Amino acid sequence: MEGRLGKNFMRRINEDGYIDVKNKKGELQYRVSKASLDDRLSTDTLFSSRAISEGCRVLTIHGAKDEIVPAEDARQFAANIRNHELRIVADANHRYTGHREELASLVLGFLSSHPYQITSRLRPRL
């Protein structure tokens, strides 16, 4: 996380209550508060995945060389969702550097192979 949030991010969050994450141009990307970081770190994605309806189609695309979230996490997540498609992109990192066309192709392929279905007039089922 230090690579994403910067050096001594926990000390800075504890002192200031938040940190601002900026891009290489120095532009604000997002703010991380102590509460939002605690919430993210305490999220049990395996437990949460069980709340996904069986009728909901899910696509997870994960980089095999993701340096922030291990690919094994995606595999565990996929194992808990009935209607799930997992695609691991070889050599892709967390940001899919050099693999954006492949990423787009996988998303478009998933969407085109799973057409939009209307289950009621009020609530579309994706």
- pLDDT score for 61: 97
Strands (E), 1-126: 18-22, 28-33, 58-63, 84-89, 117-118, 124-125
Q: How far apart are CA 71 and CA 103, in angstroms?
A: 15
What is the three-class DSSP state of 94?
coil
- pLDDT score for 29: 84
How does pLDDT run across 71-98, given as a tens digit for each residue? Answer: 998 998 898 888 899 999 999 999 899 9
Q: How far apart are CA 36 and CA 44, in angstroms?
A: 14
Q: How far apart are CA 124 and CA 52, in angstroms?
A: 16
Q: Where are the domains of the chain?
A: 2-42, 45-125
- pLDDT score for 117: 59
pLDDT at 40 over 70: yes
pLDDT at 43 over 90: no
- pLDDT score for 120: 45
16-25, 31-40, 59-68, 115-124: which is most confident: 59-68
How many distinct helices (H) and strands (E) make up the chain? 6, 6
Mean pLDDT (the chain) is 85
